[in-house]
Amino acid sequence: MPHLTLEYSSNLRDTQRFDVLCRQLAHVLGAQRNDAGQAVYPIGGIRVRALACDAYCIADGQDAEAAFVHASLKIGAGRSATVLQATGDALFAILKTYFEADYSARGLALSLDIGEFSEAGTWKHNNLHAKFRSKAA
């Protein structure tokens, strides 16, 4: 972990390049450091994905140009409030910058939440951590 999922109204599909945004957000997650300068999130655990919502309703449904992007970050529990704030601030700054033109041109709702989970109740089979460790060596 972390896993960041972007859900967005499909009326943004043609006006934004979500592949570029996903890479930018993954870079931001990989760049996060704690007070000791150590990486906060293991590079092999970073996942960023964007899912277009074809069926949605914004407000009263009358404005076909209205759009949304909601980012949901899932991370393992145990990081400090300072780290959570810094992560959220960094991710949200990218989202605001990336969608600045849309925000100026139409109704747009941007949102982000961070959810922590316990390791109990999760199952993983992942060789990416080892692969990225061997690349760093």
The total of structural domains in the chain comes to 1
- Say how many C-beta atoms besides its own lie within 10 A of residue 25's C-beta: 25
pLDDT for 137 equals 57
pLDDT for 107 equals 94
State the 10-residue block means of pLDDT for the chain, 137 residues long. 95 88 97 93 95 96 95 94 96 97 95 89 76 68
What phi, psi does 110 have (nearest 5°)? -110, 135
pTM for this model (two decimals): 0.87
- Tabulate helix, strand, coil % of the chain (nearest 5): 40, 25, 35
Which domain does 100 fall in, by range?
3-136
pLDDT for 130 equals 75
pLDDT for 133 equals 72
- CATH code at position 45: 3.30.429.10
CA distance 95 to 25: 9
CA distances from 13 to 67, 74, 91, 108, 117 (A): 10, 24, 20, 14, 31
pLDDT for 48 equals 98
Q: What is the dihedral of CA 114, 53, 125, 19, to 10 degrees?
A: -90
